[in-house]
Chain A
Amino acid sequence: MSLRRPATPLHDRPAPRRWIQIDPILLIVTLLLIGYGLVMTYSTTAETRTFTGDPMQFVVRGAIWAAVGLAAMAAVALFDYAWLGAFAPLLYVFTLGLLSVVLAIGTSSLGAQRSVNLGGLSFQFSEVAKVLMIIVLAKFFADRRASIGSPLTMLLGLVLLAPAVFLVYRQPDLGTSLVFIAIFFGIAFLAGARIWQLVALVAIAAASFPIVWSLLKDYQRARLSAFLNPYADPQGAGWNIIQSLIAVGSGGATGKGLTAGTQSPLGYLPIAESDFVFSGLAEDLGFAGAVILFALYIVLLVAALRVAFRAKDPFGMLIGAGVATMLLCQIMVNVGMAISLMPVTGIPLPFISHGGSSLVSICFALGVLQSISMRREPEGP
């Protein structure tokens, strides 16, 4: 019992009472999205005619990861999130350590060094790092509510963020490093940061764009140019964008049907099970399938915000805000990229993209949210 109970002012309720306060909507929408993700993995890989092997291998692997993710979620929910706050400094060091390990011994794919092999399974540590960074930043701002108006607080927060962003950027994974920055803004915003300070930060970022541009890799610059005019190089940098638009558009109102899409099984869509999974979804299930997905996402985000809103302390609230920001940012960037509203960056679509790291990390984050929900003040007597 004492192991589950931190020394200081945290008060935990008896177990039965906590389970009643689990957020059912958040849980149900999580399960629905995991199911949707498995269906899409099946749809985009079962008929793939460009590689050999068991056509169900991706679905089986996805199901195993889903089970692992759900188990992690349950375990984390049991855990009092206050402990996370208590160990925040340690988590921070751990996060930077993970990201350094990726750079040191990571395996590269498509020119980027993003994953680490653990006993035959490759794991993208930056996915976990995002969730850990949410906790660290939430703890940082929760502890500094009194001095939130001071520019120094913001500056310190940025100093905390910078090493992680830099390490991810060096992989290189521009997309994920942008998610880190978005998380910072989301948490700072709900922590009560001065609006003018946030605007000033954005302005500084915009002003420093030429410097950032010069630091970008060639392929990143090509992607940005291709975003502005994909037809300048339709066989090269513009290929992904054009093929993705064709996939999405050809889906029409109700899609070509599960596994009936042609763009991803025939290899026209690159990385069709992850980065461009939304294009495959829109091709197979059409506008209707996409709108259903959006509806599930909205329910998920609102449920996450509700957990934050009802949290018993600022730490819990800010974790909720951070998780919601992370999800919204990833959805916006991934879907936006598939329909050419955003430049191409390799960010997974929550639940839908095939990949264990992303799914388990999100389940972990949602487990923390359930922990926050379970430990909120009960409503009414």
Chain B
Amino acid sequence: MRQDSRGFIPVRRFIAFGIAIFLVFSTLTVRLYDLEILRGDYYHVLSEQNRIVRLPVPAERGGIVDRTGYVLARNIPGFAISVIPVDLPRTREEELSQRLGSLLTLPSDSVDETIRAQRIRNPYEPVRISKTPVPREIALAVTERAELFPGVRVDPESIRFYVDGTLYAPVMGYTGPITEQEFEKLKQSGYLGNDDIGRTGIESIYEQYLRGTYGWREIERDAALREIKTLALQRATVGDTVSLTIDDRLQKLLDAELRKGVDDDKFTQAVGVAMNPQNGEILAMVSIPGYDNNMFARGITTAELAALNGDDRHPLVNKAIGDRYPAGSTFKMVTGLSALSEGTATRETVVNVSASSFSVSGTTFYDWRQHGSLDFVHGFAHSSDIYFYTLAGGTQFAPNVHGVGPDAIAKYARMLGFGSPTGIDLPNEDGGIMPDPQWKLATFDEPWTIGNTYQEAIGQGFVAVTPLQLLNAYAAVANGGTLWQPHLLKQVTDAAGKNVPIPEWTSQKLAMTQDNLRLIRESARRVVTIGHAYMPNLKIPIAGKTGKDSAGRNKLGFHNWFVSFVPQADNTDPTAQIAMVIFTYDSSKSLCELCLNPAVGMTQRILERYLGANK
């Protein structure tokens, strides 16, 4: 009975069903083994990459101070305005774009476009609308009327502030957004695509100290890319404080005098640089006209930039180092030192300047007056052109004096730093031109003439110098024969207050005798006491040399120089603690030999006030 009733059981098909179960689970198990055991590590990495992102935490940029600690550049809080598209209803997008556009003075189309692009890219991630840091009032306007600004976020962000913007812009430079090419090179060093970077000046050259060390924040995020929690945090370290050798008090004295000269229409452009001849520290550096670097920090407008670029006085160029000018009579120091060093002249070399002009092969050369008989000191003090024509190339006025020649002048000039950059710690330094016969042949394919030698002797013709080169050469004379690498960096201090190692400054000993250098110092002092740059009621022992020149064939463009140094006492010892060059220029005025050199009076006023207060 039971056997019969079980006849309906298909035993083989049950076995087949069992085999099917076995096959299904074998397949699943083998695949799982492959995924979890053999490739588990690979997928583990993928799952971590899914959820963990490391976000950079930007560091505050370091400050810049003068030698006394007076703050020149710091950061002030500004705000960034962003939109998170997912929190912004599509129906209100246009209205918000218009409102933000008018608030931030941006075209509402571009605001709308930015939001729409982000909506497609990642609607949960905020996209920055403000191109430049936004002041507090605007940020407040947004946060107080949040209902008018759906999806808008306000985040604090730093904005660079230059305390005396225009005063220091030529030195300080400014920061600006990193370019694509720079970013490609610098991303290995931790730069971000929207970083600011020092663009020029100190900001650029000491970027490494100022930038600081960025931190990071590791966050866990969900599939919608929303931040869930912070997993780990590495704080950012604020950038180092850069102390400059600049003395803000001198900088302001110098700037005020030069600016007054511009206001009084004595000239339209001016440069003033002061340094300590004993170590190459730059104490002040003014270039007028300048620009307000805060315009760049807050984001310069196209119109502002066009105005700066369109100004033919080139306000964006630091003229102390970035442009070259004829040295004029200040160069007589070089001609004189060459002749003294080569032994073709001594302190007693006398030239009888019995005329105020003479001609050589059809060309007439002038002196500014008929000086009569001059020795070296007086030739220098009265800035006699004929005296130095004679030392350089020989003239009829002193048949027994052999000219030292253009090659020797070029040799000593280069020793004094002319013709190549001084190596100051600023970008875009010009090297000037220090010609010699070979240079002329190579450049103009013409042989050197005696006329070239005469021109060179008094700093005209081909010679071109930067104000800093000139100052540095006189500083080497003032300190007894050491040519320093001029520099602006005094020290670097990190966030903890510790000193950070900085580069060593180089110096070169001049191959010149102390007697000859002393003779130049004595002669330079005579320039002020009896000569060309007589200073009435002078209270400090200023020594120096004037220079005048005009640029171009039409003789338009009037340069005036006064380069000076101040020994500790009224003697010829190499003790000067300060040397200064003042250069003024007016492109609309022509050379005027007998006009007053404005640089002389300004130098007296500045140095008397500066040193008078110091002593």
Contact of B5 (CB < 8 Å), options: A247, A302, A312? A312
Q: A309-B14, A321-B17, A341-B28 are in contact. Are A262 and B33 (CB under 8 A)?
A: no
Contact between A246 and B47, CB atoms less than 8 A apart:
yes
Which listed residue, A145, A266, A286, touches B223 by the CB 8 Å rule? A266
B14 partner residues in chain A, CB cutoff 8 A = 190, 305, 308-309
Q: Which of B22-39 contact A (CB under 8 A)?
A: 24-25, 27-29, 31-33, 35-37, 39
Separation of A328 and B35 alpha carbons in the complex (Å): 22
CB nearest neighbor in A for B41: A252
Decide: B25 and A287 in contact? CB cutoff 8 A.
no
Which residue on chain A has the smallest CB distance to residue B44? A250
B222 pairs with A267, CB closer than 8 A: yes
Which B residues lie within 8 Å of A249 (CB)?
Answer: 35-36, 39-40, 42-44, 46-47
Interface size of A in residues (CB-CB distance below 8 Å):
50
Contact between A328 and B21 (Cβ–Cβ < 8 Å)?
A: yes
Residues of A within 8 A of B224 (CB): 50, 267
Bound form: Cα–Cα A339–B32 in Å? 7
Q: Indicate whether B51 reaches chain A with its CB closer than 8 angstroms.
A: yes
Interface code A281-311, partner B: CB below 8 Å = 1, 0 otherwise? 0110011001100100110011001001100
Cα distance A250–B42 in the bound complex, in angstroms: 7
Query: How many angstroms between the C-alpha atoms of A275 and B330 in the bound complex?
Result: 90
The answer to whether the Cβ of A163 comes within 8 Å of any Cβ in the partner chain is no
* Among B13, B28, B29, B48: residue with most chain A CB under 10 A: B28
Closest chain-B Cβ to A280's Cβ sits at a distance in Å of 12
Chain B contact residues, majority secondary structure: helix
Q: Are B47 and A263 in contact (CB under 8 A)?
A: yes
B50 at the interface (CB under 8 A from A): yes
In the assembled complex, how far is the CB of residue B279 from the closest CB belonging to chain A, in whole angstroms? 61
The answer to whether A266 and B51 have CB atoms under 8 Å apart is: yes
Contact A253 B40 (CB under 8 A): yes
Please state if A335 and B51 are interface contacts (CB–CB under 8 Å).
Answer: no
**Residues in chain B near residue A377, CB distance under 8 A:** 2, 5
The reply to whether B28 and A335 form a contact with Cβ atoms under 8 Å apart is: yes
**In the complex, which of the residues A186, A192, A309, A339 contacts B35, with contact meaning CB atoms closer than 8 Å?**
A339
Identify B28's interface contact among A252, A267, A339, CB under 8 A. A339
Q: Nearest B residue to A312 by beta-carbon distance?
A: B5
State A370–B159 Cα separation when bound (angstroms).
Answer: 77
B20, closest chain A residue (CB): A328
Q: Known A266-B220, A298-B25, A339-B35; judge A250-B10 contact (CB<8 A).
A: no
Q: In whole angstroms, how far apart are the Cα atoms of A378 and B324 in the complex?
A: 117
State the total of A-B contacts with C-beta under 8 angstroms. 128
Contact B51 A262 (CB under 8 A): yes
Q: Say which residue of B8, B36, B44, B228 sits within 8 Å of A282 (CB atoms).
A: B36
Whether the pair A251, B40 counts as a contact (CB closer than 8 A) is yes
Is the CB of A324 closer than 8 A to any CB of chain B?
yes
CA distance A42 to B469 in the complex (A): 79
Q: Report the nearest B residue to A261, measured CB to CB.
A: B47
Q: Which residues of B contact A308 (CB under 8 A)?
A: 14
Residues of A near B2 (CB, < 8 A) are 377
A245 in contact with B13 (CB, 8 Å)? no
Contact yes or no, B222 A252, CB < 8 A = no
What 0/1 pattern do residues 221 to 247 of B give for CB contact below 8 A with A? 111100010000000000000000000
Write the nearest CB–CB distance from A208 to chain B, whole angstroms: 24
Q: Is A332 an interface residue (CB 8 A)?
A: yes
Bound-state CA distance A302–B20 (Å) is 11
Are A189 and B13 interface neighbours, CB within 8 A? Answer: yes
A169 neighbours in B (Cβ, 8 Å): none
Q: How many Å lie between the Cα of A294 and that of B25 in the bound state?
A: 7
Q: Is the CB of B47 within 8 A of A294?
A: no
B550 to chain A, nearest CB (A): 71
- Total B residues in contact with A, Cβ cutoff 8 Å: 40
- Asked whether B9 is an interface residue with its Cβ less than 8 Å from the other chain, the reply is yes
For residue A268, CB closer than 8 A to chain B, the reply is yes
Chain A residues whose CB sits within 8 angstroms of the CB of B21 once the complex forms: 298, 301-302, 328
Task: Assess A294 versus B29: contact at CB under 8 Å? Given A250-B46, A266-B221, A268-B51.
Answer: yes
B503 proximal to A (CB < 8 A): no
CB-based contact A314/B8 at 8 Å = yes
A190 touches B39 (CB 8 A): no
B18, CB-defined interface residue at 8 Å: yes
Closest CB in chain B relative to A259 CB, distance in Å: 15
CB distance from B26 to the nearest CB of A (A): 10
Cα distance, A309 to B10, chains bound together (Å): 9
Q: In the bound complex, do residue A248 and residue B35 qualify as a contact, i.e. CB atoms below 8 Å apart?
A: yes
Most B CB contacts (10 A, CB to CB) among A186, A249, A335 go to: A249
- A142 CA to B506 CA in the complex, in Å? 106
Q: Give the Cβ gap from A21 to chain B, nearest Cβ, in Å.
A: 15
With A250-B40, A263-B50 as contacts: A328 and B24 at CB distance below 8 Å: yes
A49 interface hit (Cβ, 8 Å):
yes
Q: Are A297 and B25 in contact (CB-based, < 8 A)?
A: yes
Q: Judging by beta carbons under 8 Å apart, are B40 and A332 in contact?
A: no
- Which residues of the other chain, A, contact B17 by a CB distance below 8 angstroms? 186, 189-190, 305, 321, 324
Q: How far is the CA of A305 from the CA of B19 in the complex (A)?
A: 12
Residues of B within 8 A of A332 (CB): 24, 28
Candidate in B32, B37, B50 with the most chain A CB atoms within 10 angstroms: B32
- Distance A253 CA – B24 CA, assembled complex (angstroms): 21
Given contacts A266-B223, A339-B28, contact A145 B43 (CB under 8 A): no
Query: In the assembled complex, which residues on chain B have CB atoms less than 8 Å from the CB atom of A253?
Result: 36-37, 40
Q: List, in ascending order, chain A residues with CB within 8 A of B10's CB.
A: 190, 192
In the bound complex, how far is the Cα of B50 from the Cα of A246, in angstroms? 9
Do the beta carbons of B40 and A317 come within 8 Å of each other?
no
Q: How far is the CA of A248 from the CA of B24 in the complex (A)?
A: 18
Minimum distance in angstroms from A4 CB to a CB of chain B: 22
Nearest Cβ on chain B to A342's Cβ, whole angstroms: 10
Q: Does B9 contact A262, Cβ atoms closer than 8 Å?
A: no
How far, in Å, is B52 (CB) from chain A's closest CB?
A: 9
A336 at interface (Cβ–Cβ under 8 A)?
yes
Min C-beta distance of A129 to chain B, whole Å: 23
Is residue A331 within 8 Å, beta carbon to beta carbon, of the partner chain?
yes
Interface string of B192-229 (1 = CB under 8 A from A): 00000000000000000000000000001111100010
By beta carbon, the residue of chain B nearest A252 is B40
Q: How far is the CB of B123 from chain A (nearest CB, A)?
A: 13
* Chain B residues whose CB sits within 8 angstroms of the CB of A283 once the complex forms: 47
A324-B17, A377-B2 given; A266·B228 CB < 8 A: yes
A317: chain B residues at CB < 8 Å are 8-9
In the complex, residue of chain A having the shortest beta-carbon distance to the beta carbon of B47: A250
Q: Please, how many angstroms separate the alpha-carbon atoms of A249 and B39 in the complex? A: 6
**B18 engages A305 (CB within 8 Å):** yes
Chain B residues closer than 8 Å to A248, beta-carbon distance: 32, 35-36, 43
* CB-nearest residue of chain A to B33: A287
With contacts A266-B221, A305-B18 known, is A287 near B32, CB below 8 A?
yes
Most chain B C-beta atoms within 10 Å of own C-beta, residue among A50, A245, A248: A248
Residues in A whose Cβ lies below 8 Å from that of B24: 328, 331-332
Nearest-CB residue, chain B, relative to A308: B14
By beta carbon, the residue of chain B nearest A291 is B29
Q: Report chain B residues within 8 Å CB of A251.
A: 36, 40
Asked whether B50 lies within 8 Å of A262 as measured between CB atoms, the reply is yes
Assembly CA distance A298 to B20 (angstroms): 11
Interface residues of A in 131-166 (CB under 8 A from B): 145
Q: Which residue of B lies closest to A192 (CB)?
A: B10
- Given known contacts A249-B36, A312-B5, what 10 new A-B pairs fall within 8 Å (CB)? A50-B224, A190-B10, A190-B13, A246-B46, A248-B32, A253-B37, A301-B21, A328-B20, A331-B24, A339-B31
7 sampled A-B residue pairs with Cβ under 8 A:
A190-B14, A246-B47, A248-B36, A252-B36, A294-B25, A294-B28, A314-B8
Rank and list the top 8 A-B pairs by shortest CB-CB distance, nearest first: A249-B43, A252-B40, A250-B47, A267-B223, A266-B222, A287-B36, A250-B44, A250-B43
